[in-house]
Chains A and B, each alone.
Chain A
């Protein structure tokens, strides 16, 4: 049996894995009953709204992926005493390479997450994405979701 801590870490990294694969249905399913908010950008509540947001703003490349790696590090977890809710802060750096964009880091920031354990399984309750350092997002996003232009 994996520890609560490891189950939460796995969930944080599952998001990156699904997101990089452009598997938006499964990304969205992580947020059923959860909020997904971007500082200075859009917000969504629940799977359907997250799915719509991903489809509107994330560029899928010819190989069917985002051509990205959402590298997630510096994970710090706090568990509540009852063991039923948790908070985590982590850092992310998104690397991307496409036919037009040489391999580089295109954005770096923080995830501030809340989780709940429901029927023995940890689930997202809230993800707040803080894109602190913004580089060349031209091959990653559509429609200027961060209001940069």
Chain B
């Protein structure tokens, strides 16, 4: 049996694995019971809204992936004393290389997440994405939903 800590870290890293693979069905499933919010932007909840965001904004390349690596680090973990809720704050750095974009870091920021344990399994309860440092996102996002200067 994995520790609560390992199960939560696995979930954090599972998001990256699925996102990089452009498996939006499975990514959105992670947020079936969860908020998914962008600081200064969208405030979504649940499978349908996350799936709509992903399919609208994330560019899928010729090999069927995003040509990215969502590297997630610096995770600070806190677990409630009753063991049924947890919160993490992590950093992400997204690397990308495509036919027209040399391998580079295209964005760095923070995930502020909350988790809950239901029927013995941890799941996302909320994700806040903070896109602090933005580079060349032209090959990753259409109509960048993380742009702090967006009007909507």
Residues of A within 8 A of B (CB): 2-3, 6, 9-10, 13-14, 16-17, 20, 65, 67-73, 95-97, 102-105
Contact = CB atoms under 8 A, between A and B. Distances in A.
Contacts of A102: 135-136
Contact of B74 (A3, A68, A72, A105): A72
Interface of A is mostly: mixed
B107 interface: yes
A100 B90 CA distance: 26
A17 B91 CA distance: 9
Contact of B93 (A10, A16, A69): A69
Contacts of B132: 20, 65, 67, 69
B5 interface: yes
A9 B75 CA distance: 8
Given A71-B108, A95-B105, A97-B135, A6 B77 contact: yes
B73 interface: yes
A71 B110 CA distance: 11
Interface of B: 5, 71, 73-79, 89, 91, 93, 104-109, 132-136
Contacts of B74: 13, 16-17, 70-72
B10 to A, nearest CB: 15
Contacts, number: 67
Contacts of A6: 5, 77
A72 B134 contact: no
Contact of B105 (A2, A73, A104): A104
13 contacts: A6-B5, A6-B77, A9-B75, A69-B109, A70-B74, A71-B71, A72-B74, A95-B133, A97-B134, A102-B135, A102-B136, A103-B106, A104-B104
B111 to A, nearest CB: 12
Nearest to B148: A63
Given A95-B93, A95-B105, A103 B77 contact: no
Contacts of B107: 103
A9 to B, nearest CB: 8
B108 A17 contact: no
Contacts of B78: 2, 10
A116 B68 CA distance: 39
A65 B133 CA distance: 11
B133 A97 contact: yes
A95 B108 contact: yes
Given A2-B77, A95-B108, A71 B134 contact: no
